[in-house]
Chain A
Amino acid sequence: MTWPQVARKDFEDAVRSKMVWGIIAVFVGFVGFVLLVAIGTTDTSDATGDAALSLTANFGQLFVPLVALIAGYLAIVGERRSGSLRVLLSYPHSRRDVVVGKLVGRSAVIATTLAVGSAASMLLVALLVDAPSLGNAAGLLASFVLFGAGFTGLAVGISAGVRTRGKAMALAIGSLLVFLFVWDAAAAGVHATVTGSLPGLRVEPWYFLLKRLSPFGAFRALADGFVQGQVSPFVRMGLEQLPKGTTPEQLALPNRVAGPLPFYLSDWFAVLTLAAWGLVPGVVGYLRFRRSDL
């Protein structure tokens, strides 16, 4: 069991690459920019810290997976191509140590980056607008970190499972596109197939489960608890047949399903979903990596 050594090396290498600092700078810079635009275009007297938090959550929804995929997709295949994997494996590290170490190392990198980046962003919110509730800020930060860890796991899993950088990149981009454009539409499609109609305002609870199995869905489910209103999907297909003038209140989950919420629509289930995204692709990637020639 030498994975802690691999993780430590990976963390140090990433910090040295300045990638971490670049990501933090872009994150904070972008949040600051969005806030300034929002302040400039709205009546400042209405602006609240919690509304600004919601803005941060919406922005983070695209930023976090992008950053995690970029930071992780070369974790193993990059070393495979450069030949440093040959050196690493000539010491008493097993291939499992390499995959676990990379998973932990890169997750630590992403978690640190997001924690520092979103803490700084929230400080910016507090300075420019108004202090958000501390509980909400901490909750959103934790959601970001989990979301990031889920995508890091996916990226490292991809990186372990393929032999070339090109394939790793194609799979990373492809998976992001599937989550953004295909997943929710597919969930609506399943609903249409099973029930004969597209989902409306009142829906079977399992339809929401399908949506929440995507890391985006799970993140939104978690983040919704910490921001004003809802974190809206990045791409709306308009496949849910909602009556005109539906209020945000009517869209709240408890108002759309009959009876008490099933366990799989609870927050902790969303936490488990993100954890699974962090682990399952890593396992699949390892099983491929274990068998293959360098």
Chain B
Amino acid sequence: MSVMAAIRTNGLTKRYRGGLLGTDVTAVDGLDLVVEEGEVFGFLGPNGAGKSTTIDVLLDYARPTAGTAEVLGHDAQAESTAVSERVGVLPEGYGLYDRLTGRRNLEFAIDWRGADDDPDRLLDRVGLDVDDAARPVGDYSKGMTQRVALAMALVGDPDLLVLDEPSSGLDPNGIRLLREIVREQAAQGTTVFFSSHVLSQVEAVCDRVGILRDGELVAEDTVEGLREAAGASSTLELTMAEPPAADLVGGEGVSEVEVRENRLRVTCTDSRAKARVVADLVDRGHDLVDVGSESASLEELFAVYTGERPDEGDAGADERTRDAEVVA
């Protein structure tokens, strides 16, 4: 018997009709994806790449134009209720019942799944305190709502967790908690399918990643491979007291140096090179006014994987992932 995949799609295509005057949009185009049981799979791509459409098809919210999707060995369309018995979902664009309390929403989820979870234990796990859980969800912040929704996804200890942009709305504490939960679940053997448009979120918890762009899978890699690729184009921006010379910095791991007035823009192939460059300059007595660092944007990552140049002036240069986000 072959190992059953948690998720398997074959030539999955979803096209949305544009209506009378609009043009058809192909959200997902011939996607072949395999997520093995027990792994934490990061589904990475910019907004609009087709991540949520793929998830919509897996959960039978949308019907494929062509191709097939299987979840835990069940056809996603024909056997959708069998799928939902074993899959916990934090969908994109979800809503809870605003008039009911957070706790009541969770109790309904427990009832619906026919589980015997203790709501207090689940609330504690997602870090929502008892007083907040007793208030109607309509009064919640996005982060609190997200915690309840996450608790609802964990009900009944599902075999597969599908988390669509789970960190949106969460503060740094919430994000740390989310990572802990994903790791705990994975340790128990739960397969986790984690979609995000933020590289660092995926990098922090996943074993393997698939990168989606314009509805197509452009790359699949281990997270170590991704980290190398990401390191391959991180940049360091140094502001000096005096206009520097271009040959001021260099050495291993530095691929390009650019001078703009009294600023140095250093592109590194290895992110560890950044610390060395700064330490070198300080050791040699140069006066550093400011140090900024950016890791690769998704667009630059695509360039690394596909060998294309990122479009200048397009998303590539502007949407660089801020280091703050990486730290968070």
Interface set of A (CB-CB < 8 Å, partner B)? 2, 5, 9, 12-13, 16-17, 79, 82-84, 86-87, 89-94, 291, 293-294
Q: How far is the CB of B176 from chain A (nearest CB, A)?
A: 25
The answer to whether A90 and B63 touch across the interface, beta carbons within 8 angstroms, is no
Assembled-state Cα–Cα distance A38/B112 (Å):
51
B200 within 8 A of A: no
The answer to whether A89 and B84 touch across the interface, beta carbons within 8 angstroms, is yes
The answer to whether B84 and A90 touch across the interface, beta carbons within 8 angstroms, is yes
| Given A12-B100, A90-B91, A293-B81 contact (CB < 8 Å) | no
The answer to whether B61 and A89 touch across the interface, beta carbons within 8 angstroms, is yes
Residues of A within 8 A of B88 (CB): 90
Residues of B within 8 A of A294 (CB): 56, 61-62
The answer to whether A16 and B91 touch across the interface, beta carbons within 8 angstroms, is no
Partner of A293, one of B61, B89, B114, B149: B61
Q: How far is the CB of A266 from chain B (nearest CB, A)?
A: 42
Residues of A within 8 A of B95 (CB): 79, 82-84, 86-87
| Given A12-B100, A13-B99, A83-B91 contact (CB < 8 Å) | yes
Residue of B nearest to A10 (CB): B97
A and B contact pairs by CB, cutoff 8 A, 18 listed: A16-B100, A82-B95, A83-B93, A83-B94, A84-B94, A86-B59, A86-B91, A87-B89, A87-B94, A89-B61, A92-B85, A92-B113, A93-B84, A291-B63, A293-B56, A293-B63, A294-B61, A294-B62
Residues of B within 8 A of A89 (CB): 59-61, 84
The answer to whether B61 and A86 touch across the interface, beta carbons within 8 angstroms, is yes
The answer to whether A86 and B94 touch across the interface, beta carbons within 8 angstroms, is yes
B87 within 8 A of A: yes
Assembled-state Cα–Cα distance A17/B81 (Å):
29
B182 within 8 A of A: no
Kindly list the 9 A-B residue pairs having the minimum CB-CB distance in the complex, ordered from nearest.
A83-B95, A82-B95, A90-B89, A91-B112, A293-B62, A86-B91, A84-B95, A294-B61, A83-B94
B26 within 8 A of A: no
Q: How far is the CB of B283 from chain A (nearest CB, A)?
A: 55
B293 within 8 A of A: no
The answer to whether A87 and B100 touch across the interface, beta carbons within 8 angstroms, is no
Assembled-state Cα–Cα distance A91/B91 (Å):
12
How many residue pairs link A and B with beta carbons under 8 A? The number is 73
Partner of B59, one of A12, A83, A90, A291: A90
Assembled-state Cα–Cα distance A13/B63 (Å):
30
Besides A13-B97, A92-B85, 12 more A-B contacts (Cβ < 8 Å) are A9-B108, A12-B100, A16-B99, A83-B93, A84-B94, A84-B95, A86-B61, A86-B89, A90-B87, A90-B91, A91-B84, A92-B113
Most buried by A among B61, B108, B153: B108
Q: How far is the CB of A224 from chain B (nearest CB, A)?
A: 40
B49 within 8 A of A: no
Most buried by B among A86, A91, A94, A294: A91
Residues of A within 8 A of B85 (CB): 92
Most buried by A among B59, B88, B97, B98: B97
Q: How far is the CB of A90 from chain B (nearest CB, A)?
A: 4
Residues of B within 8 A of A79 (CB): 95
Residues of B within 8 A of A291 (CB): 63
Residues of B within 8 A of A84 (CB): 94-97
Which of B52-67 touch A at CB < 8 Å? 56, 59-63
Q: How far is the CB of A96 from chain B (nearest CB, A)?
A: 10
Most buried by B among A79, A89, A92, A93: A92
Residue of A nearest to B99 (CB): A16
Assembled-state Cα–Cα distance A9/B109 (Å):
11
Q: How far is the CB of B29 from chain A (nearest CB, A)?
A: 17
Assembled-state Cα–Cα distance A29/B112 (Å):
39
Assembled-state Cα–Cα distance A13/B105 (Å):
11
Residues of A within 8 A of B114 (CB): 92
Q: How far is the CB of A81 from chain B (nearest CB, A)?
A: 8
Q: How far is the CB of A216 from chain B (nearest CB, A)?
A: 33
Residues of A within 8 A of B96 (CB): 84, 87
Q: How far is the CB of A84 from chain B (nearest CB, A)?
A: 4
Assembled-state Cα–Cα distance A92/B87 (Å):
9
Residue of B nearest to A84 (CB): B95
Assembled-state Cα–Cα distance A231/B297 (Å):
72
The answer to whether B111 and A5 touch across the interface, beta carbons within 8 angstroms, is yes
Assembled-state Cα–Cα distance A16/B97 (Å):
11
Residue of B nearest to A97 (CB): B81
Assembled-state Cα–Cα distance A100/B91 (Å):
24
The answer to whether B99 and A92 touch across the interface, beta carbons within 8 angstroms, is no
The answer to whether A93 and B100 touch across the interface, beta carbons within 8 angstroms, is no
Assembled-state Cα–Cα distance A87/B92 (Å):
10
B212 within 8 A of A: no
Which of B68-87 touch A at CB < 8 Å? 80-82, 84-85, 87
Q: How far is the CB of A106 from chain B (nearest CB, A)?
A: 15
The answer to whether B62 and A5 touch across the interface, beta carbons within 8 angstroms, is no
Residue of A nearest to B104 (CB): A12
Assembled-state Cα–Cα distance A43/B153 (Å):
66
Assembled-state Cα–Cα distance A188/B266 (Å):
85
Q: How far is the CB of B177 from chain A (nearest CB, A)?
A: 20
B152 within 8 A of A: yes
Assembled-state Cα–Cα distance A12/B107 (Å):
13
Q: How far is the CB of B323 from chain A (nearest CB, A)?
A: 32
Residues of B within 8 A of A2 (CB): 112
The answer to whether B149 and A87 touch across the interface, beta carbons within 8 angstroms, is yes
Q: How far is the CB of A85 from chain B (nearest CB, A)?
A: 8
Assembled-state Cα–Cα distance A93/B84 (Å):
8
Q: How far is the CB of B76 from chain A (nearest CB, A)?
A: 12
| Given A91-B109, A293-B63, A86-B93 contact (CB < 8 Å) | yes
